[in-house]
Chains A and B, each alone.
Chain A
Amino acid sequence: MNHDEPVSNYVFPKWVNKLPLYALSGAGLLLCLIVFVFWYWFSPKNLEVGYAPVQPIPYSHKLHVSELGIDCRYCHTQVENSSHSNIPSTDTCMNCHSQIKTQSPDILKLKDSYVNNKPIQWVKVHNLPDYVYFNHSRHVTAGISCYSCHGRVDQMERVHQVKPLSMSWCLECHRAPENHLRPREFVTKLDWKADNQLEVGRQIKEAYKIRPGEDCSTCHR
């Protein structure tokens, strides 16, 4: 290139004058879009709620709980005493199914598990991160119903997640437990509803001396 020859001063087309305006408004829109994407799509409400994995045996809570009237604790025996609410072993199922519908193909799977001493590989639905120490007995004996976290399982053909199980969702209740507390005896009555939840909740909070922790170490030990 000949260096003596000056380059024209007019290297930019005229629309460039408007570029800062476009760039600024574009950046503003992009920012709004990013916020929206994170707020909507990346929230646990969107990512977690509705998870309904197919189970090895299509066990229906609706049939067993609503129609046959079995209590949650008949199968989830440890929920009141242990941090972990257990999935029943095949033995529990065989209490009835050694007699009932023994020839159904699904029950044959159950029998196979029972005879060969091989557990059914149920798929876990409500999954908390490993660094969260959730204690079922602590909550159930304090008057928090199964319903508050798991929803109307008694109406589900296949269990699905209804709550986001996010930390802010946990804290919502830890900060105002009266919105969810109920008498202990109704904890497994999923259709129970107080006439005035706030009042009942406050009375129970008083009676059971409920003071939910909000320190990090309450849940992260």
Chain B
Amino acid sequence: MSALVVGNDDPSKRTPLVLGGHDFKSVSDIICRPVEAKAPQWWMIAFGVAVSGLCLLIAMLSKLVWSGIGVWGLNNPVMWGWDLVGFVFWVGIGHAGTLISAILFLFRQKWRTSINRFAEAMTIFAVMSAGIYIVFHVGRVWVAYFLFPIPNSMGIWPNFRSPLVWDVFAVSTYFTISLLFWFVGLIPDLATIRDRATTKTRKIWYGIFSVGWRGANRHWMNYERAYLILAALSTPLVLSVHSIVSFDFAVSQVPGWHTTIFPPYFVAGAIFSGFAMVVTLMVAARELFNMKDFMTMHHLETMNKIILATGTMVGYAYGMEFFMAWFSGNTFEQYAFINRAFGPYYWAYWTMVSCNVISPQLFWFKKIRRSIPMMFIISIFVNIGMWFERFVITVTSLHRDFLPSSWFYYSPTWVEVCQFIGSFGLFLTFFLLFLKFLPIIAISEVKGVMPAANPHQPGEEH
């Protein structure tokens, strides 16, 4: 089996996307097994841990609402800390899903089929974690509806010139489209599970969510069209959402934030972190569910190549920020960046550089690109590095205000730390539910890229 892949350096042939000589039935059997079998023990344990994390999040948010935003370590001039870091971190992770499902779909990258479902689910849950941060960082969460332009008895509107308002629209649009896209893609597979169901409960629930899918030609026609439209709608979102998140910083006047490079730099970083998260989760899932025939080494290697490419872009952006600071001749800008690398938060900066710039460069080596332990470790390093990137951007730019009298060393309180841990609880709770109750690979799409779906014989002229 491995000889099949490793030996495939002949560029005239495509690497097979499904290994193990499966037919259509065995594909359905393997992918539906987690849904139909009893939850394995590791799942129960992991779910228990994740729900505890979720409870921790709820407790921390209750404390925040009860006592006010003072339970966080924020103060003038560092008025954004782990809240915004957590938000950008999670939204960034959410970018892999749309990129894989929309852009790779439009570019006919067929290798996306076995990972798109997985990545989209991750996107949705990551955006939910991000949304929690956005809603609760306003402090008085009962007036969070101020974020939306709703007519009210105060006669006030959000400031449409503020990127913070664009952000609300960008993130909520992104969440809606991602959810729709994910759901539309799920319908044929939900119907598969419904048709295979051996219990009435399963028949009813999967029946409800497969909305009457019969696999008729007309259904497939509408489905393909809807999927294409949604892909076209989400494609600009991959670029726009994180551009707008970067505007939260770039539109302000703070040295270290007020930079034109921010939108592309943020988008590259988002895809970088999102792919790293997909690799982390996929390495675990393919092992635990025995789906190595669908999530092949070829898939992982391709993902790692994208991590290498985006990681290099991010490294270039770090360098370019310093160049621009020097080139601008602006002493405030220069101070901001020298302070970033050698000031009180130097440790965060160098953690970021070693995780984000140095560690993905190891993927130039094919051996490392194809080594499960190495890619697992590097993908975790990338996630740590991307968290630190947001910390560096948010905190080090703020802690040196224009007035030296208000300079401040921000450190988080235990509430902020526990809330961040809790946001992982929220993410993993939903993700584990997804692993258990939904087909984690798009069954119908994987079948479409198998040789059996293609009447041509290997080597035959098309």
Contacts and interface: CB of A to CB of B under 8 A. Distances in A.
A200 to B, nearest CB: 25
Interface in A163-184: 164, 166-169, 171-172
B153 A7 contact: no
B222 to A, nearest CB: 14
A14 B211 CA distance: 14
Contacts of A6: 198
Contacts of A3: 198
Contact of A7 (B152, B198, B211, B212): B198
A174 to B, nearest CB: 10
Interface in B152-175: 152-156
A164 B155 CA distance: 13
Interface in A105-123: none
A177 B154 CA distance: 18
Given A11-B203, A11-B204, A11-B207, A1 B198 contact: yes
Contacts of A11: 200, 203-204, 207
A7 B199 CA distance: 7
B153 A168 contact: yes
A7 B200 CA distance: 6
Interface residues of A, number: 19
A7 B203 contact: yes
User: Can you list the 4 inter-chain pairs with the closest CB atoms, starting with the nearest?
Assistant: A168-B155, A167-B154, A166-B153, A171-B155
Interface string B22-40: 0000000000000000000
Contact of B153 (A5, A12, A20, A43): A43
A167 B195 contact: no
B153 A44 contact: yes
B195 A9 contact: yes
Interface in A122-173: 164, 166-169, 171-172
Specify the main secondary structure of chain A where it touches its partner. Answer: loop
Contacts, number: 38
Interface of A: 1, 3, 5-7, 9, 11-12, 17, 20, 43-44, 164, 166-169, 171-172
30 contacts: A1-B198, A1-B199, A3-B198, A5-B198, A6-B198, A7-B197, A7-B198, A7-B199, A7-B200, A7-B203, A9-B203, A11-B203, A11-B204, A11-B207, A12-B204, A12-B207, A17-B212, A20-B211, A43-B153, A44-B153, A166-B153, A166-B154, A166-B155, A167-B153, A167-B156, A168-B152, A168-B155, A169-B155, A171-B155, A172-B155
Interface residues of B, number: 15
A176 to B, nearest CB: 13
Contacts of A44: 153
B193 to A, nearest CB: 12
Contacts of B154: 166-168
Given A12-B207, A20-B211, A168-B153, 8 more contacts: A1-B199, A5-B198, A7-B197, A44-B153, A166-B153, A168-B154, A169-B153, A169-B155
Contacts of B200: 7, 11
Nearest to A43: B153
A49 to B, nearest CB: 12
Given A1-B198, A9-B195, A11-B200, A167 B207 contact: no
